Amino acid sequence: MNFLVHLIYTTIFSKMLNLSDTNLFLAFFFGTVIDIDHMFRYFPALFKNKKIIQKETYLKTFLQEPIFVPVILLICLVLKTLIPLFFFAIHLLLDYSFSSVNRPYSPLINKEYTGLFNFRSKTYWLFTAVSVILFIVFFSFAENLDYLINIFQPVIS
């Protein structure tokens, strides 16, 4: 799933849960920032193929797979919060719904599974568009807009 959709759902759920401070950071880290691992595979593949990566290219590391859940649980125990697990689960649900290649047991077993819906299909783009519309509607209410502004205040300042 694309970064924008992860960002949208992380923002909406963090508002619904009324998160702030450390829990808000954890929500965005495990809901969106965890995708940073794609860059380590994206750029080498991009230069190797000399074009935009094909959908068959596996971009994830084990950080993006269910095999990482025990580490997330350990983080939850140490921090005494379930926020990392909740937002990682949302992230996985989105990824496993629309990804072309999933390896749930990677790096131990490289058996591949495809997502529920075709990656970059009409359904994929429709889901992205509906997510953007949902985001706009959700944050069109004044109190939600204030929340959104406060989340990104350090970035704006």
Tokens 């965890």: give the residue: 34
Reported confidence tier of residue 30, pLDDT bands at 50, 70, 90: very high
Per-residue pLDDT for 54 more than 60?
no
SS3 53: coil
Instruction: Give the residue, 5 or 144, on which the prediction is more confident.
Output: 5
Residue 31 pLDDT: 92
Q: Which domain holds residue 139?
A: 3-156
Distance between CA 122 and CA 98 in Å, rounded?
11
Of the two residues 44 and 75, the one the predictor is more confident about is: 75
Specify the pTM: 0.76
| Spatial distance between the Cα atoms of 144 and 11, rounded to a whole number of angstroms | 10
pLDDT above 50: residue 100 = yes
Q: CA 142, 148, 152, 154 torsion: positive or negative?
A: positive
How many separate domains does the chain show?
1
Looking at per-residue pLDDT, the higher value among 116 and 122 belongs to: 122
DSSP 36: G
Tell me the C-alpha distance between 132 and 11, whole Å.
Answer: 12
Lowest mean pLDDT segment, chosen from 18-22, 60-64, 77-81: 60-64
Q: DSSP label at 113?
A: B
